[in-house]
Amino acid sequence: MDLKERVCDELQKEVPKGASSTNFNTQHQQKWEDPSSTLDYSTRIEPPFQAFNQTCQTQSLLLCNNQIKVPMQDGSINDLLQQASKIQDWDPSAMLNNLSFLEQKIHQLQDLVYLIIAQKGQVLGRPDELLVQQQQLVTADLTSIIIQLISTAGSLLSSVKQTLSAATTSLGQCGEFGGVVFPSSAQRLNDGVQPQNAGGSKVSEPQNSIDITSNNGNEQNNHIVEEHELKDEEDAEEGENLLPGTYEILQLEKEEILAPHTHFCTICGKGFKRDANLRMHMRGHGDKYKTPGALAKPTKESSSEPTIIKRYSCPYAGCKRNKDHKKFQPLKTILCVKNHYKRTHCDKSYICSRCNTKKFSVIADLKTHEKHCGKDKWLCSCGTTFSRKDKLFGHITLFQGHTPAIPSDEIKVAPAGTSDGATNKVGSVNFNLSSYVSSESEVQSSSMDIKGGIDDAVGYFSPLSFDTCNFGGFHEFPRPPFDDSESSFAFLLSRSCNYSQKSGEE
């Protein structure tokens, strides 16, 4: 993790803390003070329907993801607004609230379907794909609405405990939704009702948990409500201090992550790294873009609306940073996503010109390395370098037979011998893991810590990865065949696959 990212992370860490103790507005402001995320993410904060329309018109694939997020984002905001304004105790008004939320959601869906109808026939580019996506979107929303409906109904039942526990175990997402309505100030979601009851004062009351929320009296609960997107219960155990229900998960696509530019001119298609630069560029397209309003940061406009904490998921199926993973750990910023994706799932194409051995996929990592390259003068016979002598000696103490290498030896031996050995080793590791994975499908969690393992363990998850499984032992060059296939037809596959999973969750 380079410095930038770390700074980001730290900033982000503060957000949930603030959020837990204060109300939404402050949290929101804090969010916007985060420099890196604002720059990268500015487009994403636009009013959802606007974005949707816009992307539909331009048919930019890059923003497809946004479309998917739209309903939830919107829904959450509405819901939050309502929640922030009232409900302390459970009463019919809460129910009304839920229902109105559902209503809104249905309206959104309606709009979407309208749009699809309107677009039919006049779409360019990849009509099939878009259609499929939209269909899935609709399916996803419908599913979510159904679930919410069930849970709302479930909350009316008198024996709420039993139903909830039954729901959490057997119904899965359904029960989870019910759980989401629980405030869970400090406890985890799947700890369920009992601990919260114990914490609350009205233990004996057979009413549902919203009572307890009110007893706790914390407003922090408000933003928990809208978390349909969440998946497995195990998720709750992971991550920073964020509870699984407390943030929204966004997932960018591979192309979007790897794109050099994230902001595109809707008129000429030119890409920019920063939104500010795009706005400056837009001036050239006419006077209407020169107004102070158009030039101003869009942040101010959207800052009036409350937002919830955003976390990111890696699009690579099976990755620990992917939201489908059992022990999902979300990424905090877009920059984190980019760096993570490049580091973990991409070729290391930047080679240090000095040592010719170290490879990096993030150019900033290369630059950091180059600052120290050559200073790592403490070299072990195994090829490992150390910047400090005591570290080398600690290493030698630990590993039998390792000795410090004397500089001239390094020139003679190291480039040929050690690097070869290293690559061979990696190759064999990959081979073993992949074969293992393809034969047994239970190993995923155990092999997660190994990088290569992640890549291959993905195998049995997505249809796309069956390719890699089949490759098996030939997987010595982990990336290239993979990437190639993805860029061609598998790209579609993976996309659709992701969507289907998502819809399943929602």
Partner 1 sequence: MLSFQSSKNVLSLTEDLLVRIYELLAAESDRKSFRLVCREFRRIDSLTRRHLRVIRIEFLPILLRKYPRLQSLDLSACPRIDDGVVSLLLTRVGPGSNSPSLGHWAWGLKSLVLSRATGLRFSGLEMLTRACPCLESVDVSYCCGFGDREAAALSSAVGLRELNMDKCLQLTDVGLAKIAVGCSKLEKLSLKWCMEITDLGIDLLCKKCVDLKYLDVSYLKVTNESLHSIASLLKLEVLGLMACPLIDDVGLQFIERGCPSLKVIDVSRCEGVSSSGLIYVVRGHRNLLELNAGYCLSLSTALLHQMKNLNHLEVIRIDGARISETSFQVISANCKSLVEIGLSKCVGVTNMGIMRLVSACINLRVLNLTCCHSITDTAISAIAYSCRSLVCLKLESCNMITEKGLCQLGSFCLLLEEIDLTDCCGVNDKGLEYLSRCSELSCLKLGLCTNISNKGLSYIGSNCLKIHELDLYRCTGIGDDGLEALSNGCKKLRKLNLSYCNAVSDRGLAYIGRLEELSDLEMRALHKITGVGLEAVAVGCKKLADLDMKHCEKVGDSGFWALAYYSKNLRQINLSYCGISDMALCMVMGNLSRLQEAKLVHLSNSTVEGVELALRACCARIKKVKLFAPLRFMLSSEILEILHARGCIIRWD
Query: Which residues are near partner 1 by CB under 8 A?
Result: 389-390, 393, 396-397, 401-404, 406, 408-409
User: Whose Cβ is closer to partner 1: residue 327's or residue 377's?
Assistant: 377
Q: Which long-range contacts (CB under 8 A, 24 or more apart) does 366-369 make?
A: 368/2
Q: Give the list of residues 6+ apart from residue 131 with CB closer than 8 angstroms, or none.
A: 116, 123
CB of 251 to partner 1, least distance (A): 48
CB of 422 to partner 1, least distance (A): 21
Secondary structure class of 59 (helix, strand, coil): coil
Can you tell me the distance from the alpha carbon of 100 to that of 95, in angstroms, rounded to the nearest whole number?
Answer: 9
Can you tell me the distance from the alpha carbon of 137 to that of 69, in angstroms, rounded to the nearest whole number?
Answer: 9
CB of 418 to partner 1, least distance (A): 16
CB of 388 to partner 1, least distance (A): 10
Can you tell me the distance from the alpha carbon of 407 to that of 71, in angstroms, rounded to the nearest whole number?
Answer: 61
CB of 391 to partner 1, least distance (A): 10
Can you tell me the distance from the alpha carbon of 328 to that of 247, in angstroms, rounded to the nearest whole number?
Answer: 13
User: Whose Cβ is closer to partner 1: residue 140's or residue 379's?
Assistant: 379
Can you tell me the distance from the alpha carbon of 60 to that of 262, in angstroms, rounded to the nearest whole number?
Answer: 12
Query: What is the DSSP code (8-state) at residue 61?
Result: G
What is the token pair recorded at 421? Answer: 């050995």
CB of 399 to partner 1, least distance (A): 10
Stated as kind and residue range, the H or E segment containing 313 is strand 309-313
CB of 385 to partner 1, least distance (A): 13
Can you tell me the distance from the alpha carbon of 325 to that of 322, in angstroms, rounded to the nearest whole number?
Answer: 6
Can you tell me the distance from the alpha carbon of 445 to that of 461, in angstroms, rounded to the nearest whole number?
Answer: 13
User: Whose Cβ is closer to partner 1: residue 243's or residue 392's?
Assistant: 392
Phi, psi of 378 (to 5 degrees): -95, 105
User: Whose Cβ is closer to partner 1: residue 202's or residue 375's?
Assistant: 375
CB of 387 to partner 1, least distance (A): 15
User: Whose Cβ is closer to partner 1: residue 73's or residue 384's?
Assistant: 384
Nearest to 43 by CA among 56, 31, 52: 52
User: Whose Cβ is closer to partner 1: residue 14's or residue 410's?
Assistant: 410
User: Whose Cβ is closer to partner 1: residue 204's or residue 408's?
Assistant: 408
User: Whose Cβ is closer to partner 1: residue 80's or residue 396's?
Assistant: 396
